[in-house]
Amino acid sequence: MDKKTMKIFILAILAIGFVRFILNISGLSNSVVKFFSMTAIIVIGTVYFAIATTGHKERLKAAYLLILPYMIVEVLALGYTWATGRQTIFHAEEYSMGFSIAQHTIGHFVGGLTWEPLFVFVLMEIIWLLYAGVRRLQGPKHAGA
């Protein structure tokens, strides 16, 4: 796995999460802040690393590394809401699914270490299978073709 590219993705996820938090606590509405998406960066990273990695183990590691900064931002932002009582987009009704702030925070922490990276890994595996299948159908490249 290309460590430099992974670091860029990790920093981008952390940065956009920080921007999302700052914009929201500065008073920008959720309808605007929602466009600063950590998920979008994770999706791009998922596709990239599904194709760029050379094995299942590397894709599993990449999945965890893509989710970890997201989970850190989510837990810290939810912790802010929990500690201050000040609502942020991170615990907005459309994202909290009716859970209390404590349940939501703990859920992101547990999910970020378990099912969320496993879900991303499964997506990477599916993308890799599709990519490998298309390459196989194209056959070997011939010189001069």
The domain tally of the chain equals: 1
41 occurs within a structural domain: yes
Quote the pLDDT of residue 126: 98
pLDDT digits (tens, 9 = 90+) for 9-63: 999 999 999 999 999 999 999 999 999 999 999 999 999 999 999 999 999 999 9
Whether 142 shows a pLDDT value over 60: the answer reads no
18 occurs within a structural domain: yes
DSSP codes joined into one string, the chain? --HHHHHHHHHHHHHHHHHHHHHHHTT--HHHHTTS-HHHHHHHHHHHHHHH--SHHHHHHHHHHHHHHHHHHHHHHHHHHHHH----GGG-HHHHTT--HHHHHHHHHHHHHTHHHHHHHHHHHHHHHHHHHHHHHH-PPPTT-
Specify the pTM.
0.91
pLDDT digits (tens, 9 = 90+) for 74-112: 999 999 999 999 999 999 988 888 999 999 999 999 999
143 occurs within a structural domain: no
